[in-house]
Amino acid sequence: METRRYRLWFIAIVASLVAACTTSEPAQPTTLPPLATVTHPPATVPQDRDPQAVLTVLRQPDPCTLVDPARAGVPGYPANLNPVPCSPHQLSNR
């Protein structure tokens, strides 16, 4: 008898939740206002750049100046380490 009462309560709660979730929404307009016409200027395609000029500009902020092993005191790196740039974002230690 006790389980039947819990089942009835469960069914009543589920039914009330379902009824609460199925409320009707106010009617939406069936037609939308017309959209404004938008015009854009034609896009210009950038010209190719000289690869050597790009590398030169990328190497201006010298990453080798950021490496100071003596000041950092990192074990395994000698104080006379001489970093040399191999590419714009890569160093080689000599």
92 domain-assigned:
yes
- Domain of residue 94, residue span: 53-94
- What is the torsion angle, in degrees rounded to the nearest 10, for the CA atoms of residue 69, residue 75, residue 79 and residue 80? -90
What DSSP string describes the chain?
A: -HHHHHHHHHHHHHHHHHHHHTPPPPPPPSSPPPPPP---PPPPPPPPPPHHHHHHHHTSS-GGGG--HHHHT-TTS-TT--EEEEETTEEEE-
In the prediction, which pLDDT does 19 show?
79
41 domain-assigned:
no
79 domain-assigned:
yes
Among candidate residues 70, 62, 68, 69, the one with its CA nearest the CA of residue 86: 62
69 domain-assigned:
yes
Number of domains comprising the chain = 1
Among candidate residues 68, 86, 91, 64, the one with its CA nearest the CA of residue 78: 68
In tens digits, the chain (94 residues) has pLDDT values of 678 888 888 999 988 888 777 667 777 777 878 888 989 888 887 788 888 888 888 777 666 666 666 666 667 766 666 666 666 666 666 6
In the prediction, which pLDDT does 32 show?
77
In the prediction, which pLDDT does 18 show?
82
